[in-house]
Amino acid sequence: MSTQEAKILKNGERERRIKRRFQIEQEIRYKMLYGQRIAETGQGKTGNISSGGVWFTTENILTAGMPVELSMSWPVLLNDSCPMKLMIYGCVIRSSDKGAAVAIERYEFRTQGSRTFHQPVAQTPVELRMLG
């Protein structure tokens, strides 16, 4: 679809979003921030995500305008072996009893350690002695 074409939604309205949305369903944890303090925490499940925002279910209605930190396991492994976590920092733009939309201000990927890397266990040398 070109930028000139307008996608029409099921309810007949024109799609306002510019960024492409991906239907990624992952468990997500959120922290509502009040300055340096954590005002509220909870968990939910992502519905869709784009480079500009994320929609997810919530346990409570979140306050629009509040800064929020989101954390979710990324569904793809780095180098086919290392799980990653996506950290999203943004602001709640709307919320209902069904979920919340967050505008992404910045994000970062963090590694969670490799699934295939195992630290070798050091063997204690054993000394055998013959009696007699």
Specify the CATH number for the domain of residue 60: 2.40.10.220
In a domain, 21, yes or no: no
Number of structural domains found in the chain = 1
Q: Rounded CA gap, 120 and 129, in Å? A: 27
Rama region for 27: left / alpha / beta (φ>0; ψ in -120 to 50; rest): beta
Q: What is the pTM of this model?
A: 0.71
Asked if 84 contacts 112 with a C-beta cutoff of 8 angstroms, the reply is: yes
What is Dmax (Cα atoms) for the chain? 96
Closest CA to 111 of 84, 86, 79: 84
Which two tokens mark 2?
């070109």
Residue 103 lies in a domain: yes
Q: Is residue 3 in a domain?
A: no
Q: pLDDT tens, position by position, for the chain (132 residues)?
A: 444 444 555 555 555 556 788 888 999 999 998 888 999 999 999 999 998 999 999 999 999 999 999 999 998 888 888 999 999 999 999 999 999 999 999 999 999 865 554 445 555 565 555 665
> What are the start-end ranges of the H helices in the chain?
none
